[in-house]
Structures are given as structure tokens and as C-alpha cells.
């Protein structure tokens, strides 16, 4: 294995059978992870990890920032694979406070990023006709409102409930089943917007800005999708398990 490189498989040719798990190990170099999937930069930012870390290994970085390496690698795997393979015992080992903190920081990021995207779209639409600007504005207003509402619900209702549950104070009639799965709608609308910008705005739209907007949407779409995965596949099962213990 001494010459094995931790880059993505080239040409799908017989890659070492455990490449994926091998890349995401505590002994890996953090920079290798990012070079294998640059979108992990979003993860670093949310965890407060600052770039310029040289040849640091994952385990050392986790020590420095007081992050559980298991958790960090789990997040990286989920962000890097479409069918992430969760360790069998993740449910027992999940540091739920770290997960909630991560989700919270993701919300802050979206709350910042959606208006940024909105401004870019506005600027792009100015190069089309006024009516296009107006049509898109309306859509973006709705979208902004919907996402604000969605994140506020999680921040104000869901997360405090989980914190209480973890602390051993079962909630007041609330349970995680009520957690609305309205993420999908947030994702759907963004996907619609992507189709509209890609296919249906007129050719007169300023091309460089249009590309830039599309790149932003694609990245945001993917990131939001991972966010949903984290909530649906980690947070909800974890809390459901806590609740079932509570009710015993």
C-alpha cells in the first residue's frame, strides 16, 4: 500500500476495494481528503477549521479542534458518497451535540448564502428584460421566506427539544415524528430554479453571471441534499432511539 494514492479512482479501473474507507481514516492527511473532494471545504468552515494546516493528519486536527474523529469522518463520508456506508455501531457512538452544532452552523451558512445567491440572480436578471427580473424576484422572495421559516422551526423547536431529551428531560408532548420533512420542498424549489436558469431564461442573459449563478445553485443543491441526509439518516433515527428508551 506504500504507493497507494488517496485520489479518486482513475477511469473506474480496479480500485483497491476499500479505497473509500481507507481514505476516510484518522491517519489520512487532511489535505488529501480535501483534494479528493473539494466540497469538504464547506465542512471545514462549519467546524471552524482554518486552512493552512500543512501536512496535518485527521486525528491531530480533531484533537486540536476538540472534534470527535469518528464524527468528522462520518460527515466527510456522507459529503463524499452518494450511498454512504455508515459503521454498524454509529448510533451508539454519535456525539449528538456535535451533530446539532454542525447542523446549526449549516443553517447559518444557508441563511447567509441564500441572500448572496439572490443578489447574484438579481444582477443576472437585470441583463434580461425587466419582466424576468420581476418574475424571479417573486420566486426568490417565496424561497427566502420558506427557508427562513424552515430553519427557524428547527432552531427554535427541534434542537431545543433534542437538547432537553439528551439531558434527560423528556419534552412536553413533542416528538421527533412531528419533525416536518419539508426539506424536500426546499430542495425541490432550488432544483426548479436550477432548471429555469439553465434552460428557460432567454439567451440574452449575461452568460458569465448566469454560469456563476448556476455553479452556486449546483453547490448549494448538493450541500442542502447532504444536510437533509444528515438530518434524516443520523439525527432522526438517533432521537427516535432516545425517545424509545425514554418511553420504556
Partner 1 sequence: MKTDRSPHYRLMLIEPSALVSRGIRSLLAEHPEFDNLTVYHDLAHGLEQLTRLRPDLLLINPSVIDFQKRLFVRTLSPALEEIPLIAIVYGLMEEEALKQYDGSIGLYDEPAHIVRKLRKALEKQHPHSVPSRHDDLSNREKEILVAVARGLTNKEIADMHHISIYTVISHRKNISRKTGIKTISGLTIYALLHQMIDQEEWMASEGRK
Near partner 1 by CB under 8 A: residue from 26, 69, 84, 171: 84
69 in Cβ contact with 58 (< 8 Å) = yes
Near partner 1 by CB under 8 A: residue from 96, 135, 166, 205: 135
177 forms part of the interface with partner 1 (CB under 8 A): no
User: What does DSSP assign to residue 168?
Assistant: T
- Least distance (Å) from partner 1 to the CB of residue 77? 9
Residue among 137 and 243 whose Cβ is closer to partner 1: 137
77 in Cβ contact with 85 (< 8 Å) = yes
Near partner 1 by CB under 8 A: residue from 39, 63, 64, 138: 138
The piece of 115-123, 129-137, 155-163, 222-230 that touches partner 1 (CB under 8 A) is 129-137
Please state, in angstroms and rounded to a whole number, the distance separating the CA atoms of residues 46 and 106: 7
38 forms part of the interface with partner 1 (CB under 8 A): no
**What does each C-alpha distance from 144 to 92, 123, 141, 148 come to in angstroms?**
36, 17, 5, 6
In the chain, what's the furthest Cα-to-Cα distance?
64
Question: Residue 47 CA to chain centroid, in angstroms?
Answer: 12
Task: Return the C-alpha cell found at 102.
Answer: 454542525
Residue among 53 and 139 whose Cβ is closer to partner 1: 139
**What does each C-alpha distance from 217 to 6, 128, 210 come to in angstroms?**
28, 19, 10
- Residue recorded with cell 448564502: 113
The piece of 55-63, 182-190, 203-211, 235-243 that touches partner 1 (CB under 8 A) is 182-190
The piece of 5-13, 52-60, 147-155, 217-225 that touches partner 1 (CB under 8 A) is 5-13
User: What does DSSP assign to residue 12?
Assistant: T
108 forms part of the interface with partner 1 (CB under 8 A): no
Of residues 197-226, those binding partner 1 (CB under 8 A): 199-202
15 forms part of the interface with partner 1 (CB under 8 A): yes
Please state, in angstroms and rounded to a whole number, the distance separating the CA atoms of residues 77 and 108: 22
Please state, in angstroms and rounded to a whole number, the distance separating the CA atoms of residues 181 and 233: 12
Q: CA nearest 30: which of 3, 1, 6?
A: 6
193 forms part of the interface with partner 1 (CB under 8 A): yes
171 forms part of the interface with partner 1 (CB under 8 A): no
- Least distance (Å) from partner 1 to the CB of residue 87? 11
Residue among 10 and 66 whose Cβ is closer to partner 1: 10
120 forms part of the interface with partner 1 (CB under 8 A): no
Q: CA nearest 127: which of 64, 62, 67, 201?
A: 201
List residues near partner 1 by CB under 8 A. Answer: 8-9, 11-15, 17-18, 20, 81-85, 131-132, 134-136, 138-139, 142-143, 185, 188-189, 191-196, 199-202
Amino acid at each position: 500500500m506504500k504507493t497507494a494514492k488517496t485520489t479518486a479512482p482513475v477511469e473506474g479501473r480496479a480500485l483497491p476495494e476499500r479505497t473509500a474507507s481507507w481514505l476516510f481514516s484518522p491517519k489520512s492527511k487532511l489535505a488529501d481528503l480535501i483534494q479528493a473532494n473539494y466540497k469538504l471545504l464547506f465542512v471545514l468552515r462549519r467546524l471552524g477549521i482554518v486552512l493552512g494546516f500543512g501536512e496535518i493528519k485527521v486525528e491531530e486536527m480533531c484533537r486540536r479542534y476538540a472534534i470527535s474523529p469518528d464524527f468528522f469522518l462520518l460527515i466527510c463520508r456522507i459529503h463524499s458518497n452518494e450511498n454512504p456506508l455508515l459503521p454498524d455501531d454509529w448510533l451508539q457512538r454519535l456525539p449528538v451535540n456535535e451533530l446539532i452544532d454542525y447542523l446549526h452552523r449549516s443553517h447559518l451558512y444557508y441563511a447567509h448564502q441564500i441572500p448572496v445567491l439572490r443578489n447574484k440572480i438579481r444582477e443576472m436578471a437585470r441583463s434580461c428584460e425587466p419582466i424576468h427580473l420581476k418574475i424571479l424576484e417573486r420566486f426568490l422572495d417565496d424561497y427566502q421566506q420558506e427557508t427562513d421559516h424552515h430553519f427557524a422551526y428547527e432552531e427554535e423547536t427541534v434542537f431545543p427539544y433534542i437538547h432537553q431529551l439528551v439531558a434527560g428531560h423528556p419534552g412536553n408532548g413533542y416528538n421527533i415524528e412531528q419533525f416536518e420533512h419539508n426539506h424536500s420542498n426546499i430542495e425541490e424549489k432550488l432544483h426548479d430554479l436550477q432548471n429555469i436558469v439553465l434552460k428557460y431564461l432567454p439567451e440574452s442573459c449575461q452568460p458569465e453571471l448566469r454560469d456563476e449563478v448556476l455553479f452556486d445553485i449546483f453547490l448549494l443543491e448538493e450541500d442542502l441534499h447532504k444536510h437533509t441526509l444528515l438530518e434524516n439518516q443520523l439525527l432522526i433515527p438517533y432521537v427516535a432511539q432516545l425517545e424509545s428508551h425514554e418511553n420504556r
